Amino acid sequence: MSHPTHAPAAARRLQEMHHRDRPIVLPTVWDAWSARTVASAGFEALTVGSHPVADSRGSADGETMTLDEALDGVARVVGAVDVPVSADLEAGYGTSPEELVDRLLETGAVGLNLEDTVPARGAMRSPEEHADYIRRMRVRADAAGVPLVINARTDAFKHAGSLQDPTAEALHRLRLMEEAGADCLYPVAVPSTAVLEQLLAAVSTPLNVTAHPERGAVPDQLDLDRLAALGVRRVSFGPLLQQAAGEHIAQLLDGWR
C-alpha cells in the first residue's frame, strides 16, 4: 500500500475544514481544466464527481466506467492542483473496501464519497452491509497512516417510493455510518428543510448537502448563510456544476448559430 508523502497532511487539512463555523464548499469537478479553474477561484479543496467524470468520458452515471477509468480521472485532477481532493467512487465498483482505499490513496486523493446504491443490483446495500463497508475502509486507511475523509452517502430519499418511512430509514443509515467511522454524512435528495433539520439534530457528524451553484440547496433553495445557520458543514454540487456550465456555454453560443 503506497501513497504520496503529502497525503496525511492533506487529509488532516481536509478533515479540519469540516469543523468550522461556515460550511466547506467543495466544487465538484471532472477534469484537470475544471479543477484548475476551481482552485484558481480560491477554493481550498474540491471533489471529483463520478457523474460528471463519466459524462466527460462519453459514459454515464451508475458505474458504467471501470474503476481504472474513474481513478484515472481522479489522478488527473490531483495532479493539476495543490489543494486536497476528495473523490466520488459511487458504490465501490464491485471492489473490496481494502482495495478501494489502497487504489484511491495511490492517486493522491485524501477523501471519498461512498454511496449505498449498488448499480449492479439496482438497489441499496442493507444498512448493516454499507456500514461494514465503511468500517473496513476506515480500518484500511488508518493502517496506511492517512486519515482519509470518508463521506458516507445514503440514497434512502431517492428510493422513497419503495420505503415505508424514508426519513426513518435515512436516520437509521446515517447513525450506522456514523458509528462505523464516517467523517461526514451525505443524505442525498433531502425533501425539505424541515427534514434536513431533523437529520442534523439526530447526528453529531458533519453533514453534506448538494446544492445547485445558482439556485441553492434542498427544494427551498437555501443559500450558504442559511445552511451555515442550520448547522450544515459541507456543500458539494454533484453533476449540477457541470450542468450549469453547459447551460452557460449554450447561452454564450446562442448568437453564433
Q: Rounded to whole angstroms, what are the CA distances from 200 to 8, 165, 175?
A: 29, 18, 11
Q: Give pLDDT, residue 1.
A: 60
Give 180-234 pLDDT, tens digit per residue: 999 999 999 999 999 999 999 999 999 999 999 999 999 999 999 999 999 999 9
Give 56-100 pLDDT, tens digit per residue: 999 999 999 999 999 999 999 999 999 999 999 999 999 999 999
CATH 3.90.870.10 correct for 11-249? no
Q: Give pLDDT, residue 4.
A: 84
pLDDT score of 3 more than 90: no
| 216-217 and 208-212 strand pairing | antiparallel
In contact, 127 and 163? CB cutoff 8 Å: no
Rounded average pLDDT over 21-48: 97
User: What confidence tier does 2 reach under pLDDT thresholds 50, 70, 90?
Assistant: confident
Per-residue 3-state assignment (H helix, E strand, C coil) for 33-95: HHHHHHHHCCCCCEEECHHHHHHHCCCCCCCCCCHHHHHHHHHHHHHHCCCCEEEECCCCCCC
pLDDT score of 128 more than 70: yes
Give the count of alpha carbons within 13 A of 153, CB side only: 26
Instruction: Give the chain's mean pLDDT.
Output: 97
Q: Which residue has the cell 454511496?
A: 115
Q: Rounded to whole angstroms, what are the CA distances from 170 to 79, 92, 173?
A: 36, 20, 5
